[in-house]
Amino acid sequence: MLAAELKKITKVYPGGIVANYEVDFDLRKGEVHALLGENGAGKTTLMKILSGCLKPTSGFIYVEGERVEFRSPSDALRKGIGMVHQHLTLIPTMSVLENLRLGLVGQRFDMRRMLTEVEDLSRTLGFKVRLDSPVYALSVGERQRVEILRLLLSKARILIFDEPTSMLCGPEIDRFLALLKSLSYKGYSIVLITHKIREAMHVSDRITVMRMGRVVATLDKDEVRDESYLVELMVGERLVPAVANARPSHSKEALLTVKNLVVNDDRGLCKVKGVSFELYAGEVLGVAGVEGNGQKELVEAIAGLRRPVYGEIIFERKNSYSGRMNYIPAERMELGVAPTLSVAVNSVLRRFDDEEFVERGNFLNFSKMNEFAKRVVSFMNVRTPSLKTPVKYLSGGNIQKIIVGREILTPSEVLIAEQPTAGLDAKSAYQVRKALSELASKGVGILLVSSDLDEILELSDRIAVISDGKIVKIFEKEEADPVMIGSYMLAGEGLGHNVRATVSTD
């Protein structure tokens, strides 16, 4: 029995980008169906069509065998289809309760009934939600659960998740995937949009692979013998899985020295509680930690975005030409690009002090700008209709590639890379890692902050584990071990004593 079916869906965006072309897709009742593909393959567009957020240019939608047309997401929700977007759609200044209630507007409302339903759902799904706390105070994982709760309250039977694990880390991911599974056992039909093959293989019953706006294949999970087969379907070629990390041992020349740094967050809570480290030339220093343990504030302080309360950040410009610190921010749209400006301008966005692009301090040299933009685009394989296209029309992955390409190709002494591959597909992530590794072998010091421990292990020469605002341990690459790093990551969260005890006897 099919819960929903899409037939011959074509979507052409204004501007002529064909996001979907004659796509067929079906969802069985009670299954977890992974929609797998690279960035810009058209997965999100397709599901936005199913959830009523976008209108297809042509094609048909069937829900439980009945032909439907959605004029809005609420139309789709009335038919039981709800989507959890990549950017969560909660109102941060409102309380959890108010946000849940917003999901029920237009319906007869009964506070007591809603509270019992919330309680029932929370119990069966193992959620703990504080209804009166404002959403901005919740972690990303908690917000996601609130959003799921809201969909369930509004009686959605088909749940679509767009890259739900991209903002989660380690244990939270496992917890989330288990939740998906249990939802499907309860009879919910689930679409999981993802580019992570392991995740798709882990929870789904069927996998549909998309590439360049088309469906390449739909497979039962049992049919998939080999994960690399899926990679091939996704990207059309085989890849080297890991970056060969064979750099000559780095020097002991400190480019960046951080001493006793104390930083508060926006609400005035102390997030970085006395951090000291040195970043050497030609090394990748990975910062591992559970999200929200001060990484964000640490990076912002070093990048000059946040005034530290106490401590020193010493950045010595050894090389007068490239004596600069580059920064790949986690918040791409806010800090990384000017969304309405073109690819070309965004490629040189951080170099308006550079004689090469701005002559005599005022006059833009467009041919030089375009030349550099072309290098960024070809270096990172950015998919864009032209250099003149405003970056906001590109997919999230392509925007990230522009930022990474720009920061890598702009000469620097120190590069701060914050979640450089979050939301990127395997192939692009590989490109980014490779580029970072090569950059380090040229003598640039890289501070890599990532919630992806595999990435940190793959790239780093040293790994600093941050927990509760303190660097609790710095591992050399040789002695780094995921389990041990994991236990240090949780050291500040109450497990501390046991873990430290075990580690010290080691």
Provide the binding-site residues for another protein, judged by CB under 8 A.
53-55, 72-74, 77, 85, 89-94, 98, 101-103, 105-106, 109
φ and ψ of 202, to 5 deg: -70, -45
Distant-in-sequence, close-in-space partners of 251: CB < 8 Å, separation ≥ 6: 280, 281, 282
Structure-token pair, residue 287: 């910062």
Q: Are 81 and 5 in contact (CB under 8 A)?
A: no
334, 483, 397, 354: which is closest to 41 by C-alpha?
397
CB of 265 to another protein, least distance (A): 15
Closer of 98 and 205 to another protein (Cβ) = 98
Half-sphere exposure of 484 (CA within 13 A, CB side): 20
Closer of 104 and 121 to another protein (Cβ) = 104
CB of 12 to another protein, least distance (A): 13
Give the C-alpha separation, 71 to 393, whole Å.
23
CB of 213 to another protein, least distance (A): 19
φ and ψ of 33, to 5 deg: -115, 115
Distant-in-sequence, close-in-space partners of 367: CB < 8 Å, separation ≥ 6: none
Degrees to nearest 5, angle at CA 499 with 498 and 503: 120
Closer of 89 and 218 to another protein (Cβ) = 89
Closer of 160 and 376 to another protein (Cβ) = 160
As a whole number of Å, the CA-based R_g of the chain is 24
CB of 81 to another protein, least distance (A): 12
Amino acid identity of residue 97, one-letter, is: L
Give the C-alpha separation, 31 to 399, whole Å.
33
Closer of 16 and 106 to another protein (Cβ) = 106
Give the C-alpha separation, 120 to 222, whole Å.
34
Q: Calculate helix-pair angle for 396-409, 426-441, nearest 10 degrees.
A: 10
Closer of 97 and 284 to another protein (Cβ) = 97
Cα–chain center distance at 436: 18
Burial of residue 501, with CB atoms counted within 10 A of its CB: 0-12 exposed, 13-18 middle, 19 or more buried: exposed
Closer of 131 and 358 to another protein (Cβ) = 131
CB of 58 to another protein, least distance (A): 15
Distant-in-sequence, close-in-space partners of 491: CB < 8 Å, separation ≥ 6: 465, 467, 468, 472, 499, 500
φ and ψ of 307, to 5 deg: -80, 125
Closer of 53 and 254 to another protein (Cβ) = 53
Give the C-alpha separation, 309 to 326, whole Å.
23
Antiparallel, parallel or unpaired: β 158-162 and 189-194: parallel
CB of 150 to another protein, least distance (A): 9
CB of 351 to another protein, least distance (A): 29
Closer of 151 and 448 to another protein (Cβ) = 151
CB of 99 to another protein, least distance (A): 9
Closer of 195 and 306 to another protein (Cβ) = 306
Question: How many other CB atoms sit within 10 Å of the CB of residue 228?
Answer: 12
CB of 49 to another protein, least distance (A): 11
CB of 106 to another protein, least distance (A): 6
Amino acid identity of residue 189, one-letter, is: S
CB of 473 to another protein, least distance (A): 38
Torsional class of 234: left (φ above 0), alpha (ψ -120 to 50), beta (otherwise): alpha
Closer of 53 and 341 to another protein (Cβ) = 53
Closer of 399 and 463 to another protein (Cβ) = 399
CB of 71 to another protein, least distance (A): 9
